Amino acid sequence: MGKVAFLFAGQGAQFPGMGAAFYEQSPAARQVFDLCESIRPGTLRQCLEGGADELSQTANTQPCLFAVDLACACALAEAGVTPDGAAGFSLGEVPAAAFCGRLGYEQAFRLVLRRGQWMQECADEHPGGMLAVLRLEPNVVEQLCAALPDAFPVNYNAPGQIVVSGAQESLKLLAEQVAERKGRALPLSVGGAFHTPYMHKASLKMAGELAGLPWRPGRLPLYANLTARPYPADGREMLAQQVCSPVLWQQTIQNMVADGYTDFIEVGAGRTLTGLMKKIDAQARAYAAETPAKAQEILCALGGPDA
């Protein structure tokens, strides 16, 4: 059998009621939620009862997704699902770093609170959005963006899917040009133009914050959005740069497959990364751990004690 990877969901995957089943049924997940609630009162209510509009605000999205991602991963580990490595999509890289042992849980959550605040400040200063472009080759999308002001290819998600981030007017023009080339453009439910130079100030503040935190060797390999390769011994600067740099997700997954990973488990909200897995490598096995019941199914699929 090959290696097992945990994939931590990122911003845009949030939905009302996310994490409720884990909070109710998993002591390990409840412990994570309670920790986050003790640091940021209201986090639990937003996760379990918050509406879509409230959850889409960056300052809320990021701490809530952190809590759900890490709680889900801990619930899976509690159930006996043991990963060999991990990757996190954008925001998901922070709970992934915590789960892999690079940062303490409390330190990572406090970092996410500041990350969300700083990114929201950048978004307020430079309003923008994100647009998923489907059915066009990367070089075509890159050429279209190069001809527009303030449009940046930022998430290389899967074959035929790239997310572009930037100013709303540029995204509107891009959507028209994508349609002319028989592609498809879908606006994303996010609160800013993330992973662009617009986020440079947030990146600098992240670097300053991380410089004062201990970065541990970790117990599992963690693949970085910035390089699509495992983090080096000290990855603090890399995690800070991620905020204003493209997410090389397709290449990350391809590198993990080349490194022997065969089973990929999405932890956190939704099934976005599971869907991308099927497009990147149809031979790899992908699972979405949406509930404790799904966690048990995954354990059986991996040959656990109840298989």
CA proximity to 226, closest of 59, 58, 88: 88
CA distance 57 to 216: 31
pLDDT at residue 11 tops 90:
no
Cα within 13 Å of Cα(71), Cβ side: 34
**Residue 197 per-residue DSSP state:** G
- Amino acid identity, residue 220? L
Mean pLDDT (whole number) for 174-188:
95
DSSP assignments along 271-296, one per residue: SHHHHHHHHH-TTSEEEEE-SHHHHH
pLDDT of residue 1: 65
| 97-102 average pLDDT score | 97
Which tokens sit at 147?
Answer: 């001809």
pLDDT of 238-253, one tens digit each?
Answer: 999 999 999 999 999 9
CATH topology of domain 3-125+196-301: Malonyl-Coenzyme A Acyl Carrier Protein; domain 2 (3.40.366)
pLDDT confidence of residue 188? 85
In the chain, list all ranges with CATH 3.40.366.10: 3-125+196-301
For residue 304, what pLDDT is reported?
Answer: 64
Residue showing tokens 């060999």: 84
List pLDDT tens digits, range 18-53.
989 999 999 999 999 999 999 999 999 999 998 888
pLDDT digits (tens, 9 = 90+) for 254-290: 999 999 999 999 998 888 999 999 999 999 999 999 8
Q: What is the residue-wise DSSP string for 158-189?
A: ETTEEEEEE-HHHHHHHHHHHHHTT-EEEE-S
Q: Report the first-to-last Cα separation within the chain, whole angstroms.
A: 15
Phi, psi of 130 (to 5 degrees): -140, 145
Instruction: Give span(s): CATH 3.30.70.250, the chain.
Output: 129-187
Using pLDDT thresholds of 50, 70 and 90, give the confidence band for residue 226: very high
Tell me which H or E stretch contains 166.
strand 161-166
The stretches of 229-284 forming alpha helices (DSSP H) are: 236-241, 249-258, 272-280
pLDDT in tens, 119-153: 989 999 999 999 999 999 999 999 999 999 999 99
* pLDDT of the residue at 306: 45
- The two three-digit tokens of residue 155, written as one number: 């998430």
| Torsion on CA atoms 137, 143, 146, 149, rounded to nearest 10 | -80
Catalytic site residues?
A: 90, 195
Its CATH class, for the domain covering 129-187, is alpha beta
